[in-house]
Amino acid sequence: MNFTRRSLALMTAAAAVASAGLTIPAAAMAQPEANWPTKPIKWVVPFPPGGAMDVIARTLGDKAARVLGQAVVVENRPGAGGNIGADYVAKQPADGYTIMITSIGMATNKALYAKLSYDPVKDFAPISLLAVVPNVLVVNASKSPDKTVKDVIAHAKKEPGKLTYASAGNGTSIHLAGEVFASMAGVNILHVPYKGSGPAVTDMLGGQVDLMFDSITSARPHIQSGKLRALGLTTAKRSSALPNVPTIAEAGVPGYEVSPWFAVFAPAGTSPEIIAKLNKVLNDGMKDPETLKKLESVGAEPIGTTPQELATHLNKELDRWGKLIKERNIRLD
């Protein structure tokens, strides 16, 4: 009888342990989503400090930190057209504590690089499309005879292959804006890649290159000082940062559009609840007057979308750029 009672007690204890074992993982899984965040969030910028992407991340990161009650720490991991940072984020835990701001490279790098260590769709969870920062076609105001986009086209057709255009490097939006222009305008212009926008603009100012489809962020001060002449914006709409400058589509190449965009992603598998929280915090931050003022200073046009809208946008961009890159036979490795 004693053995039976002891056995029953042991069986009851074992059942209790087993029951606890079954319920603990479910509670543990729910806990991070309910209480997130409980520690600082790392925001990876896959390009160097100082550019529009970096400014947007730091500005929105400060706003998000105030709402979430945890620091949002920006970490720059530049290199390989954003691939080093993207590869790093793709391999991080899907717990909401690592996010990445990235650019049009998320859509172009898959076609530009034969071997990519991550998949832009499968390895990431979209959060929000944040903003567009237009590029602007500029020439040296004191050295170039071209006053309009149509002048550039006529010049390029008169002297095929002689007009040069600078970029911040192969595969950047500045480079691809030139490729789209050459393709749609039916001209032959020579691409001259630099290691960043800074040295490219320096040579533009010195007259070593003829054209540049530079980011409005770095071009605007030189346009305002009269050193560079703005001929056309790459986006579909005019920019409030340069309201008197027409779009390239308006100015002579109907249908032309290259809209360098900035968006936020998390590692694939991040819970929908955390994605929804991040989406709301970032999109709300985009409406803050201080944020809008900072975005205007770098020529950024705020957007803000749902995760699904970003996913749809990325797929469309992958298709568009994949076709163009193949057509123009652009390879980076």
Task: Establish if 146 belongs to a structural domain.
Answer: yes
Task: Establish if 226 belongs to a structural domain.
Answer: yes
Residue type, position 226, single letter = G
Query: Do residues 98 and 266 touch, judged by C-beta distance below 8 A?
Result: yes
Residue where one domain finishes, among candidates 227, 251, 275: 251
Check whether residue 127 and residue 265 sit in a common domain. Answer: yes
In order along its 333 residues, the chain shows pLDDT tens digits of 444 444 444 445 444 544 444 444 444 444 557 899 999 999 999 988 888 899 999 999 999 999 999 999 999 998 888 899 999 999 999 999 999 999 998 999 999 988 899 999 999 999 999 999 999 999 999 999 999 999 999 999 999 999 999 998 888 889 999 999 999 999 999 999 987 788 899 999 999 999 999 999 999 999 999 999 999 999 999 999 999 999 999 999 999 999 999 999 999 999 999 999 999 999 999 999 999 999 998 899 999 999 999 999 999 999 999 998 888 888 775
Q: Are strands 211-215 and 301-302 parallel, antiparallel or unpaired?
A: unpaired
Task: Establish if 121 belongs to a structural domain.
Answer: yes
Within 10 angstroms of residue 231's Cβ, the number of other Cβ atoms is: 23
CATH of the domain at 242: 3.40.190.10
Q: How far is CA 69 from CA 40, 114, 175, in A?
A: 9, 42, 40
Check whether residue 110 and residue 169 sit in a common domain. Answer: no
pTM of the model: 0.82
Check whether residue 141 and residue 247 sit in a common domain. Answer: yes
Residue where one domain finishes, among candidates 208, 227, 251: 251
Check whether residue 242 and residue 210 sit in a common domain. Answer: yes
In angstroms, the CA 130 to CA 328 distance is 29
Task: Establish if 2 belongs to a structural domain.
Answer: no
Query: Do residues 333 and 114 touch, judged by C-beta distance below 8 A?
Result: yes
Structural domain span for residue 276:
39-132+260-327
Check whether residue 142 and residue 217 sit in a common domain. Answer: yes
Q: How many domains does the chain have?
A: 2
Task: Establish if 19 belongs to a structural domain.
Answer: no
Check whether residue 218 and residue 272 sit in a common domain. Answer: no
Residue where one domain finishes, among candidates 251, 272, 302: 251
Check whether residue 140 and residue 234 sit in a common domain. Answer: yes
Task: Establish if 11 belongs to a structural domain.
Answer: no
In angstroms, the CA 263 to CA 169 distance is 21
